[in-house]
Amino acid sequence: MRIRLLLTFVVLCTAFNNIYAQELEGNLNFHGFADNREYARSKRFSETIFGMRISPEVGLLLDSTHRIRLGVNLMHEFGSPKFSKQVAIVAYYQFLKKDWNFYMGAFPREGLISDFPRAILNDTLNYYRPNVEGMLVKYENENWKQIVFIDWTSRQTATARENFIFGFSGRYKKDAFFVSHYAMMLHNAGPAIPIPDDHIQDNGAAAVKIGLDLSHKTFLDSLTLSAGGMMSFERTRTAGGWQTPKGILLDLSMEYHRFGITNSFYKGEGHQLIVGDKFYTSKTYNRTDLTWRPIIYKNLEGKLALSFHFVDGVIDSQQAFGLRYNLFGSRSLKRK
C-alpha cells in the first residue's frame, strides 16, 4: 500500500511540474455583421442577416508543438427574443511543427477554409456555421500551401440525415505568378429510418485558377488578376447519372488607401450546388463589390461593402458591414 501511495505521489508531482512547464492561453473573437440582401429581382431569397458572434477560448500550449483549446461560439441575431439559441462548442487539438498544422475537433473555419470561392462554398456559412467539426491538415511554406479537411455537418439519427463535406485547396506562388485550386464534395445521405422516394446525393465542385499578384509592382496597395475554370459534380443515386456543368471564372481585385473594387465574372453552364452560391445556377453572372475599410487598428478591422449582382437580365444589390476584433493573450505557468 505504501509503495502504491508513493508511486501515486510521484506521478502527481510529475504531472504538476509538467503543467507548470506549459503556457496558459486565452483568445476572444468578436464578429459583428449587418448584411442586407436584396435579391427579389432575380427571384432569389432576400434576407437581412444582422447580429453578432462572440467566441472566447482558453487552453494550454503544452510545448512548441501541441495545443489544446476549449471555448464556445455564441451567435445572437438582433431582434430575437432570447440571446443566442445558436451555440457552437469550440474544442480542438492542434499540432504545429515547422510547415505543418493539424487540427482535430471543433475549430474555427476563419483563416483556414474561409477563402473558398463563393461558387463552391457560399459566404453564409461564415455566419451560421463558423466551426469545422472534424479534421484538417495544412502544409504551408514560402511558395506552397495545401489544405485537406473533412467537416462532419450532420450525424445520422432516426430522423436526421447524415452528411459531411470533404475538401481540399492549395496554392503555388512564385514572384507575381500563382496557381490555386479548390475542391469539395458533399455527401448527403438519408436518416436511419428511410424516407420514401428519397435518394443519396453526391454534390461537389472543383475550380482551378492561374493569376498574377501585382500588389508590389504598382502604385496600388493591392492588385490581383486571375482566370480559370470550374466544374461541378452532381448526382442523385438511383435517380440518374452524374451531371458535370462547366464554366470559366475571371476575377479582378484592387485596393488603394482602404478603398477597393472586386469583380467576379462567370460564364458557362448553371450549377446546382447545395452549399454553393445560388447565383451560379445561372449561365452568366457578374458580381461587383465596392469596399471601404474605415477601421484598421491593431486587432480591430471594419469593412463596408456595396455589392451588385448582374444576373438574368436584372441587377440585385447587397449592402454589408462587418466588424472583427481579436484579443489574444498568454501567460507562462513556469514557477518563478
pLDDT per residue as tens digits for the range 169-199: 999 999 999 999 999 999 988 888 888 888 8
Q: Is the pLDDT of residue 156 over 50?
A: yes
With contact defined as beta carbons under 8 Å apart, do 50 and 33 qualify? yes
pLDDT per residue as tens digits for the range 261-284: 999 999 999 999 999 999 999 999
Sequence-ordered strand ranges (E) for 241-313 = 246-256, 259-268, 284-297, 300-311
Q: Residue 3's pLDDT is what?
A: 53
Q: Is the pLDDT of residue 144 over 90?
A: yes
pTM of the model: 0.86
Could you tell me the three cell numbers for 88? 457552437
pLDDT per residue as tens digits for the range 16-53: 445 555 899 999 999 999 999 999 999 999 999 999 99
Q: What share of the chain has pLDDT > 70, as a percent?
A: 92
Q: What is the overall mean pLDDT for the chain?
A: 90
The torsion angles phi and psi of 42, rounded to 5 degrees, stand at -90, 5
d(CA 92, CA 107): 6
What is the set of domains in the chain, with CATH numbers? 22-332 (2.40.160.10)
Mean pLDDT of 75-93: 85
